[in-house]
Structure 1
Amino acid sequence: MDEDMGVAVRTVAEAGPGTGETLAPSVLWKAFRVLGVFSHSRRVLTLAQIVRRSGLPKSTAHRVLAMLVEVGAVEQHSDGYRMGLRMFSLGALPPEVALRDAALVHLEELHRVTGQTLHLAILREGDAVYLEKLRGRRYDRSPALVGGRLPARCTAIGKAMLAFSTERTLAELSTAPPAPRTARSLTSMVALRRQLAAVRVDGYAVDREEAVDGLACVAVPVLVAGRAVAAVSIAFAAAAGSGTVLVDPLRRTAAAIFRSITASSAAHLIPAGG
């Protein structure tokens, strides 16, 4: 039995009967509920804040935190709790990190040229999941956060990937459509499919105030063997124009990312969206 599993088993045993924590899976779910309350804007939290945001009883939260501290997933300091270095090292293992590392130098060059807000994302379960964001020097109203999600159908970066995803992925979108984010958000699958067909022809996707009022985006997929493993986008003020002048720089960046990820074999590790 490895050390982490031993800690989990001891925690369950110590909980005792009648606590609702008689199974290891129950403790695991509670641990993820605790870890899930931390974010970029909430890096250090007190016990009271963790209890309030996780919805767990104070005694349960305290017990789970003790387990997480023991395995290094959380660190305790005088002002509260924060993510531990153990989580940082584990976070570097997923193949998406290899993709982000391969893409970053090309994103930074595009950011230097345009000065606009840039995104790198992958497609998961109908959402665009953001791996990187470089903020614009003058304008940044993008709601995207690194590690965060937005409905793919409401974003240019999501539509750039959906256009080159599987029919199964598109069918799943119609079963659970998200609430519209703005008055311009796409709610019709017929309209979405029409847009995706245009993306396949044009090679780029756009959204104009579909995710945030006043914000527009242009995006290009990173294609490997005809499938989108990721996409890159540029966000800008909708009043600034159509953004078509940004398409060629995006295409060059996507092509450079493709060369980098194929050279590093990252493309073979990351499932194509869907």
Structure 2
Amino acid sequence: MTDQPLPDLTPFDAPGSSLAPSVLWKAFRVLGSFSHSRRVLTLAQIMRRSELPKSTTHRVLAMLMEVGAVEQHDGGYRVGLRMFTLGALPPEVALRDAAMVHLEELHRVTGQTLHLAILRGGEAVYLEKLRSRKGDPSPAVVGGRLPAHCTAIGKAMLAFSEERGVADALGGPLHRRTAHSLKSAEDVRGQLAVIRTDGFAVDREEAVEGLACVAVPVLAQHRAVAAVSVGFAASAGSGHVLINALRQAAGAISRSLVSVSGLQPLAAGG
């Protein structure tokens, strides 16, 4: 998967946005230049990835260094510990922490690539990924996003979301990642009805050629707060043999969330 700046920055970059010329926008462009595979960048690399002029990039970096958001490292720059501290504050971090022990056990049992994601604006946002010991064809990266309707993990969450959220996700043209991606909102809604009955979701090469996934939602008060999926080679079969283990993990995560947040879970099977 091509490593791109964080897609979350798009609203700041929208034409006519009142934030577009601000220092805040420029700071996020610089911070968005870093990624899991590009943790240390030179000034020239940050300029290219942020698409900011050299003088602006240098000035913004100096400001970010002053507040500890960026640090100098090995002839370049990296994200500072101040950002690590701030990154630990969102509730999604507590969700990931509660899920990790169960994900690790599921990974031990399956040996396949696992994902934990939440739903935001019609997209699956990945909070964690444990890679397969047999190779990893999955395009998902931690912190990255994929269209929910193209992924089992996204469809599992859409199926157990409020109608308003589903309508928002399916309100515009649907981006198709492969020839197998669903073509219309009606097609997606048809699958969501099946998922609500079955309690699990499937995608076969809808996000990337050659990859299949099965997913189960993590439910609280009858709604999906997250989902867990297993990815595997599409040629390896249907993946139905993994569903019970997924249900057990999703149910355990839901119960763990009750202990840390007081949420009332519903069994992952529906």
TM, length-normalised to structure 1 = 0.87
The 5 Å alignment of 1:23-102 reads 26-102=22-98
The 5 Å alignment of 1:181-196 reads 181-196=177-192
Equivalent residue of 1:45, what SS?
Answer: coil
State the alpha-carbon separation in 1 of the partners of residues 95 and 125 from structure 2. 13
Equivalent residue of 1:264, what SS?
Answer: helix
* Alignment match of 2:245 (pick from 223, 243, 249): 249
Equivalent residue of 2:238, what SS?
Answer: coil
Q: 1:144 Cα shift? A: 0.5
State the alpha-carbon separation in 2 of the partners of residues 36 and 245 from structure 1. 39
Deviating beyond 2 angstroms after TM superposition, the runs of 4 or more aligned structure 1 residues are: 173-179
Query: Residues 76 and 267 of structure 1: is their aligned pair in 2 closer, same or farther, counting only changes over 3 Å?
Result: farther
For structure 2, the 5+ residue unaligned runs are 1-18, 265-270
Give the AA of the match of 1:98.
A
Query: Residues 26 and 115 of structure 1: is their aligned pair in 2 closer, same or farther, counting only changes over 3 Å?
Result: same
1:202 maps to 198
Pairing 1:139–2:139 present:
no
Query: Residues 267 and 91 of structure 1: is their aligned pair in 2 closer, same or farther, counting only changes over 3 Å?
Result: farther
Q: 1:46 Cα shift? A: 0.6
Is the Cα–Cα contact under 8 Å of residues 216 and 227 in structure 2 kept in the other structure? yes
Q: 1:77 Cα shift? A: 2.4
Q: 1:100 Cα shift? A: 0.2
* Alignment match of 1:233 (pick from 218, 224, 229): 229
Of the two structures, which has the highest relative contact order with CA contacts closer than 8 Å and spacing of 6 or more? 1
Identity of matched residues, %: 75
State the alpha-carbon separation in 2 of the partners of residues 83 and 105 from structure 1. 27
Is the Cα–Cα contact under 8 Å of residues 65 and 74 in structure 1 kept in the other structure? yes
TM, length-normalised to structure 2 = 0.88
More divergent stretch after superposition (23-32 vs 154-163): 23-32
Over the aligned positions, Cα root-mean-square deviation in angstroms equals: 1.5
For structure 1, the 5+ residue unaligned runs are 1-22, 269-274
State the alpha-carbon separation in 1 of the partners of residues 79 and 241 from structure 2. 42
Q: 1:91 Cα shift? A: 0.6
Give the AA of the match of 1:229.
V
1:6 maps to none
Aligned residues: 246
State the alpha-carbon separation in 1 of the partners of residues 262 and 40 from structure 2. 33
Give the AA of the match of 1:263.
S
Is the Cα–Cα contact under 8 Å of residues 215 and 229 in structure 2 kept in the other structure? yes
**Highest Rg: 1 or 2?**
1
1:3 maps to none
Is the Cα–Cα contact under 8 Å of residues 95 and 266 in structure 1 kept in the other structure? no
Is the Cα–Cα contact under 8 Å of residues 156 and 205 in structure 1 kept in the other structure? yes
Is the Cα–Cα contact under 8 Å of residues 69 and 82 in structure 2 kept in the other structure? yes
State the alpha-carbon separation in 1 of the partners of residues 166 and 91 from structure 2. 24
* Alignment match of 2:158 (pick from 162, 169, 178): 162
Q: 1:267 Cα shift? A: 4.5
